[in-house]
Structure 1
């Protein structure tokens, strides 16, 4: 049974464990409401309606980062803590650092070096539905690239996207600052692509900006991404309403038309931490990439295979009959080609699965098909603050066709997730009626706004003539009474209100693909890694610690060993100096910016020594050794990923006539 998009009864996403509030979060909750940022039920809606910044000027003329003050790099863009507008699902992340993508990956580009299909990687945010949806859109490069206004890397870090809100074309801008882990080195939500692409985290941020904050993007269906990027009507099919044969027909025909597809596993109490059939994460959304039939040699046997992608980019645990390592792939079939060759299988832990149609029918609960026509355009009337239309008094809109035209006709309001938590508990009922010039009703639909129903005239083109649309909403008290009258068809159609006026207040920008910075990038703060070439002149320690710590550092007299590909650096130089004193220089450090490096230098000698430590003498502790009479000196060198420089140097000289013992201990942990 073919049906329109159902009301979202189940959210597909990651179950995030609750964490205790930090001191900062507790402090925020104790502030009087008047001293916190002013939020309302229409904050996000007002944000998308606000005038755009002059993004062309900013991109071309800024030599340093531009900051989007409407969606700042702070906890308010994660979750509105301390208000009635949060369920506290992301409270453990509101104090996280943010970092610019251009700093995280200076060599990254928007698109990366390979195709778009494997660029998206999900983080801890429960938005698998959105990431699988944008991945499905990106399966066709030309289709996806329409959404990108300025693909060139720029020093302002400003990126604009062509999106649809209420079905109406909008340009949406974001800066490239994203939430990271505590050291500011890795994104905590959507990650950078394996080919150094950054469009994934940027589009995820654009979605969060549209929908209040990141918290409001948790859980949903992939069709929301289809609508956001392409404005296409889409269909939801429940597995309970199809059989294996009809499902295969729907999917294979949709694939042949390059339509956009996704699929969901059943709900489970533990969310996607539970595993369903074939070891697939439950309550999870996947991109459905393609269909293919493989045959044995004489075509007496065949398998209908469906190619699916998990936004987690992992598939090593998959246990279906066509898992990557299954011997069935090596079956020699039609034309002497193995099943693997026929399906163009690639062996990799990349989140891509092949499943038979029977396995898909058994393992999944529903699938979406976005009916994307490359030659269709969006026509619209942008109605704002309609104080007249209601269930008993429809708003009137008119259009005229000079030739028979296939089309979809819809009315789209703001998505419920654009209203903060507690603002819009119920869906609004809408009615749309299409009437011809004689007053005859051609089609009429009544639906809840989330279902995004349409009058579908694609297979029965609407004849030449003049038509009237009657829109009757049953507004709720909390509704912002804006909507779009939308027609998707092969040609632009002028839609007028009852006064003969059109209304197109926004639009897309397809002319800025070459937009780039016309100035040099401003210098960035130095984050030097240790120079271990040691090409400086030879140097002997003198006991003058201020001089020694400077001149020995790059001297060839202090060779530095490079262990474990730069994770562990060490070097030692010792000398006898005037007065029969022993001097030592001990170097430690790391070239790895993605580890927590921890090491200690230990020196034992009689009192009367002097030392200087580059990290500060306060990082050293001194313990009296009662058995030897020595002072045991321990200098700690702890280097977190965000700390620079990534090295420590100790110089020490003993008391006259005294010796010393020394050793080092070093380790590291990944972040």
Structure 2
């Protein structure tokens, strides 16, 4: 009899969080948390069982944002500060402003314009295992799209997802408000895809809501993601226990079945800020997308793994088949180069290739989710079982009319649904399968979170009536809810000892076309970024500072240059006035609302000048240098992300007979 325990926790991002705290602690003020959320050991569990609002009505009839009061846009959804249920890992983010995704990106769509694999952007949260798992799930469109109840953008900002908790189908709702930094300008956790897709931060939020808050989803294993979205049994395998031949065979077979896979690098003291073999991040999880066997000109096979980093970058990868390697140009079988055989795309997109030797050197473990596209979930939802224990079983039955391959599991709430300090041990379970005569077919003993299951796929159960006996040895404080789960090619009715079924929730697969039936309510006007088209009439400076500062700004006479995609704007215009003095206009600014911008304008000229600065003359200093008898006028344009306008203009008139020198410098931070 086999006893199995959980292993291979990938605590990816833990050190990143620590580093982010030190970087951002001075930027983000601590704010008191909302008192709306009751904080207890069963908060997340109670939330998962609560009745849903009428989300179809909300999506179709709301012209403005719907707010999810069960998971509010405040610090209580980041971590439970001030309670025994937190380790304060995300204190630097508690005071974040939250912003609606529809405000951050009004023209975004759920899936964006490109393939799903390029939509994941990991932020400051250490949940690479989750994002790598999502990326692996999304490799097959039909598998991935089942998750989304209402994939159309709606004005309520309400999105529903088909998920599995305790292996049981249910719908999870979130609104589209996400933590967006000190100024509410940019996602700090999972970000918007480069193709303007928003499903990444929404699914991350659904996972955080399921598990109480964002802090509770730091560190984990990809198999958790496989179970949450696809309800599939998973294996966690230590690579050191497999020969290279056995590893290649297992992965090749899994890939041919479209199973879901992820690889994890070894843990490290500083988490994923440390670098492991081939410049891969330590304590980090990567999606294993596929295998790519290459054939040399003499038809020798080279076995490659196609892998993806959820950080969406691979420029530092130093393996033998990195982008730009001459190996890709090697002629192989049929005259095709290795790059042509693999369908290589050279881009810093997070996708890279490794030989089997490199994989065994760099990675510690592999997660495999046994996905079968034609399998469905059958279940019995048992709540608050006060009878079954290690000596007295809960009894369930099901009948088959023909030989049927299947998986059988008993699933409880995952440990992360309990806050810190609530559950520090694992229950011990025994599950017995008997045929109609009472003969034992299979028995498994296992610790609760080891993900052990009965696999009857290769040896299908014959037709007949079967009995499942479940013996739980619960631990103190545990909620005694569980699901009796069967995954098979057809729905199977599971009954209890009284002959009753129990299916208290289900997925929604009929709302794909759900859309608003009303127009979107007008949004408050957004502050405008600088207009640098300069389409106004030509204008010559006159020395009338009030007139000059108003008329030169948009004039085509003041050409404004754009550097670093709008991060730094600058322009200058000078005019000889009356033949004996100069008028000067200097413009600085930024098109970015994500950084704190600082521009410094300096003019050196003789005393007797006059000037006007749009940010206020009090933002300028005038210092006289006695040796040259010149003034240095220095004006500072400081623009924070939430400060508008994001520009400053200095106009100056020199003293009669005086020239000038000027300069400008710029910086951005945040």
User: Which position in structure 1 is the counterpart of 2:570?
Assistant: 569
1:316 Cα deviation after fit = 2.7
Contact 1:595-1:668 within 8 A present in 2 as well: no
Equivalent pairs counted in the alignment come to 662
Equivalent-residue separation in structure 1 for 2:9 and 2:180 (angstroms): 28
Answer with 553-562 or 416-425: which moved more: 553-562
> Any idea what SS the aligned residue of 2:598 has?
strand
Q: 1:152/1:638 Cα in 2 relative to 1: closer, same or farther (>3 Å)?
A: same
User: Which position in structure 2 is the counterpart of 1:101?
Assistant: 101
1:325 Cα deviation after fit = 2.9
Contact 1:130-1:224 within 8 A present in 2 as well: yes
1:388 Cα deviation after fit = 2.1
Which segments of 5 or more consecutive residues in structure 1 lack a partner in the other structure?
Answer: none
Equivalent-residue separation in structure 2 for 1:277 and 1:571 (angstroms): 51
User: Which position in structure 2 is the counterpart of 1:235?
Assistant: 235
1:194-243 CA-partner distances (Å, limit 9, x unpaired): 22222112111111111111111111111001001100011222223221
Contact 1:409-1:488 within 8 A present in 2 as well: yes
> Any idea what SS the aligned residue of 2:120 has?
coil
Contact 1:289-1:307 within 8 A present in 2 as well: yes
Answer with 351-360 or 644-653: which moved more: 644-653
Contact 1:25-1:81 within 8 A present in 2 as well: no
> Any idea what SS the aligned residue of 2:461 has?
coil
Q: 1:628/1:377 Cα in 2 relative to 1: closer, same or farther (>3 Å)?
A: same
1:618 Cα deviation after fit = 3.8
Equivalent-residue separation in structure 1 for 2:511 and 2:145 (angstroms): 12
Equivalent-residue separation in structure 2 for 1:523 and 1:668 (angstroms): 32
Equivalent-residue separation in structure 2 for 1:612 and 1:519 (angstroms): 49
User: Which position in structure 1 is the counterpart of 2:373?
Assistant: 374
1:278 Cα deviation after fit = 2.8
Contact 1:562-1:570 within 8 A present in 2 as well: no
1:346-377 CA-partner distances (Å, limit 9, x unpaired): 22222222222233233322212211110100
1:168 Cα deviation after fit = 0.7
User: Which position in structure 2 is the counterpart of 1:211?
Assistant: 211
Equivalent-residue separation in structure 2 for 1:232 and 1:516 (angstroms): 31
Equivalent-residue separation in structure 1 for 2:194 and 2:483 (angstroms): 38
Report matched runs for 1:16-35 at 5 Å: 16-17=17-18, 19=21
Contact 1:150-1:512 within 8 A present in 2 as well: yes
1:166 Cα deviation after fit = 0.7
User: Which position in structure 1 is the counterpart of 2:64?
Assistant: 64
Report matched runs for 1:498-513 at 5 Å: 498-513=497-512
1:179 Cα deviation after fit = 2.1
Answer with 623-632 or 282-291: which moved more: 623-632
Contact 2:422-2:477 within 8 A present in 1 as well: yes
> Any idea what SS the aligned residue of 2:665 has?
strand
1:84 Cα deviation after fit = 0.9
> Any idea what SS the aligned residue of 2:225 has?
helix
Equivalent-residue separation in structure 1 for 2:100 and 2:81 (angstroms): 23
User: Which position in structure 1 is the counterpart of 2:277?
Assistant: 277
Q: 1:346/1:627 Cα in 2 relative to 1: closer, same or farther (>3 Å)?
A: same
> Any idea what SS the aligned residue of 1:457 has?
strand
1:625 Cα deviation after fit = 5.7
CA RMSD of aligned residues (A): 3.1
Q: 1:359/1:532 Cα in 2 relative to 1: closer, same or farther (>3 Å)?
A: closer
User: Which position in structure 2 is the counterpart of 1:408?
Assistant: 407
Equivalent-residue separation in structure 2 for 1:421 and 1:611 (angstroms): 61
User: Which position in structure 2 is the counterpart of 1:642?
Assistant: 642
1:342 Cα deviation after fit = 1.6
Q: 1:292/1:477 Cα in 2 relative to 1: closer, same or farther (>3 Å)?
A: same
User: Which position in structure 1 is the counterpart of 2:123?
Assistant: 123
User: Which position in structure 2 is the counterpart of 1:434?
Assistant: 433
Contact 2:4-2:445 within 8 A present in 1 as well: no
Equivalent-residue separation in structure 1 for 2:35 and 2:160 (angstroms): 32
Equivalent-residue separation in structure 1 for 2:29 and 2:394 (angstroms): 47
User: Which position in structure 1 is the counterpart of 2:47?
Assistant: 47
Q: 1:231/1:588 Cα in 2 relative to 1: closer, same or farther (>3 Å)?
A: same
User: Which position in structure 1 is the counterpart of 2:341?
Assistant: 342
> Any idea what SS the aligned residue of 1:461 has?
strand
> Any idea what SS the aligned residue of 1:201 has?
helix
1:558-577 CA-partner distances (Å, limit 9, x unpaired): 45454565422324365859
User: Which position in structure 2 is the counterpart of 1:443?
Assistant: 442
1:311 Cα deviation after fit = 1.6
Q: 1:547/1:445 Cα in 2 relative to 1: closer, same or farther (>3 Å)?
A: same
1:99 Cα deviation after fit = 2.5
Answer with 337-346 or 127-136: which moved more: 337-346
Equivalent-residue separation in structure 2 for 1:432 and 1:633 (angstroms): 82
Equivalent-residue separation in structure 2 for 1:635 and 1:444 (angstroms): 79
User: Which position in structure 2 is the counterpart of 1:469?
Assistant: 468
User: Which position in structure 2 is the counterpart of 1:79?
Assistant: 79
User: Which position in structure 1 is the counterpart of 2:361?
Assistant: 362
Q: 1:652/1:337 Cα in 2 relative to 1: closer, same or farther (>3 Å)?
A: closer
Contact 1:624-1:630 within 8 A present in 2 as well: yes
TM-score under structure 2 normalisation?
Answer: 0.90
User: Which position in structure 1 is the counterpart of 2:251?
Assistant: 251
> Any idea what SS the aligned residue of 1:458 has?
strand
Equivalent-residue separation in structure 1 for 2:31 and 2:202 (angstroms): 31
Equivalent-residue separation in structure 2 for 1:360 and 1:540 (angstroms): 67
Q: 1:588/1:574 Cα in 2 relative to 1: closer, same or farther (>3 Å)?
A: farther
Equivalent-residue separation in structure 2 for 1:336 and 1:230 (angstroms): 41
1:597-622 CA-partner distances (Å, limit 9, x unpaired): 32233456788877654324443345
User: Which position in structure 2 is the counterpart of 1:393?
Assistant: 392
1:323 paired to 2:322: yes
User: Which position in structure 2 is the counterpart of 1:491?
Assistant: 490
> Any idea what SS the aligned residue of 2:116 has?
coil
Q: 1:416/1:570 Cα in 2 relative to 1: closer, same or farther (>3 Å)?
A: same
1:4 Cα deviation after fit = 9.8
